[in-house]
Amino acid sequence: MTVKKNASSSKGDPRLAEIIEQNIHTIINIRKVADHHRSREERLADVITDFSGRMYFVYFHIGWFGVWILANLGFFGIQPFDPYPFGLLTMIVSLEAIFLATFVLISQNRISAEADRRADLDLQIGLLTEHELTRALKMLDAIQDRMGIDNDTDVELKDLEKDVDPKDVLAEMDRMQRQMNKLK
Which pLDDT belongs to residue 7?
A: 42
What is residue 79's DSSP assignment?
Answer: P
Residue 11's pLDDT is 61
Nearest to 30 by CA among 117, 124, 123: 117
Q: What does residue 145 show for φ and ψ, rounded to 5 degrees?
A: -60, -45
- Return the pLDDT at 12: 67
Q: Mind listing the pLDDT tens digit of every residue in the chain (184 residues)?
A: 544 444 444 566 778 788 888 888 988 998 899 888 899 999 999 999 999 999 999 999 999 999 999 999 999 888 999 999 999 999 999 999 999 999 999 999 989 998 998 898 898 899 889 889 989 988 988 898 899 888 777 778 778 888 888 888 888 888 999 999 998 7
pTM for the structure as a whole: 0.64
Say how far apart CA 121 and CA 137 lie, in whole Å: 24
Distance of alpha carbon 132 from alpha carbon 91, whole angstroms: 61
Domain residue spans of the chain: 14-52+85-183
Q: What is the pLDDT of residues 103-120, one digit of tens each?
A: 999 999 989 998 998 898
* Residue 73: per-residue pLDDT: 94
Whether 164 and 134 have beta carbons less than 8 Å apart is answered as yes
